[in-house]
Amino acid sequence: MTQPESDVFSLPNEADTHDHDYHQLVVVLDGNTDFDIQGNGKQLHTGEGCILPSANSHAFAGLGENQIMVVNLPIPPQKSITDEEYEMVSRLFDQAAYFQLTPRLQVLASALSGELQQYPDDPMLARACGNTLLSAIRHQVNNKDSRIRGNHLDINKLDQFIELNLSRRVHIDQLANFCFLSVSQFHERFKDRTGITPHQYLMRKRLERAQSLLSEGFPPIQVAEMCGFSSQSAMTNVFSQTLGITPLRYQKQFTSR
């Protein structure tokens, strides 16, 4: 390990305990996990994470389907970064802590994880993604003003998060958590702002993407998966009820031209 390394994977449901001689940053990208750092336990949800200084014993377990991104910062610093740069980043690990990402950083973490999964064998990319996330989170942790607590519902940032995660099963509680709101608060504010429920909004986004992919010639079964529908039949039902046409017939309108 010669620079900050990053990776994306799922935690097993069986609890495990270990420590290591390098600092580690953990961000939950999807699902829920349990962490316990030196006896301080917490359940982490999408958009939350923890700071693990080296040699701090910690226990962890996934709670069902989950996905996390980790960044490992080796000790001591390497020749590839200056002592000043390393000193700034390593201060993040002065003590163990739990945190919640701002909406902007949730979008960033999701985008970086997508790149890592697209090119898993590119060590240069892994180092660059790790450096980017470490630096961005360092600014958030050091900036108390960035700890937003639901005073504003930013639809544009919410759209970015939805677009990045539309192929997954995005749940309403994840969207509420992204905005630092309770589910009931989020539902109320979202409907006041858009005139429709969050569930209806998600379905509209899935349908819009499905229409675009079908017009490009992607097979309906693949489109259903890429748009986060539970099955091809589920997508067909939404198409039929909303547009009055099946996905296959919709696609044929474009291929027959």
Using alpha carbons only, how large is the chain's radius of gyration in Å?
21
**Calpha distance 181→172 (Å, rounded):** 11
Q: Which residues of 73-103 are buried (b: 16+ CB within 10 A; e: fewer)?
A: bbeebeeebeeeebeebbebbeeeeebbbbb
- CATH fold of the domain at 5-146: Jelly Rolls (2.60.120)
Model confidence at 4: pLDDT above 90: no
Do 114 and 120 contact (CB within 8 A), yes or no?
no
Looking at residue 32, its pLDDT comes to: 92
Per-domain residue ranges of the chain: 5-146, 155-255
Helix (H, G, I), strand (E, B) or coil at 15: coil
pLDDT per residue over 7-42, tens digit each?
999 999 998 988 888 899 999 999 999 999 888 888
Give just the sign of the alpha carbon dihedral 238, 67, 135, 118.
negative
pTM, to two decimals: 0.61
pLDDT digits (tens, 9 = 90+) for 151-190: 457 788 888 888 888 887 788 887 887 776 778 888 888 9
What is the predicted pLDDT for the residue at 147? 37
**Per-residue pLDDT, 76:** 63
Task: Tell whether the torsion through CA atoms of 160, 164, 168 and 173 is positive or negative.
Answer: negative
Q: How many CA atoms lie within 13 A of 88 on its CB side?
A: 12
By the 10 Å C-beta count (0-12 exposed, 13-18 middle, 19+ buried), 195 is classed as exposed
Q: pLDDT confidence of 239, banded at 50, 70, 90?
A: very high
* Alpha-carbon distance values, 101 to 98, 105, 135, 256 (Å): 10, 6, 13, 47
Nearest to 173 by CA among 70, 43, 62: 43
Of how many residues is the chain composed?
Answer: 257
The torsion region of residue 54 among left (phi > 0), alpha (psi -120 to 50) and beta comes to beta
In sequence order, the β-bridge partners of residue 50 are: 26, 98
Give burial (CB, 10 Å; 0-12/13-18/19+) of 152. Answer: exposed
Q: How many CA atoms lie within 13 A of 165 on its CB side?
A: 26
Rounded Cα distance, 221 and 91, in Å: 48
Instruction: Classify domain 155-255 at the CATH topology level.
Output: Arc Repressor Mutant, subunit A (1.10.10)
C-alpha 118: how far from its chain's center? 15
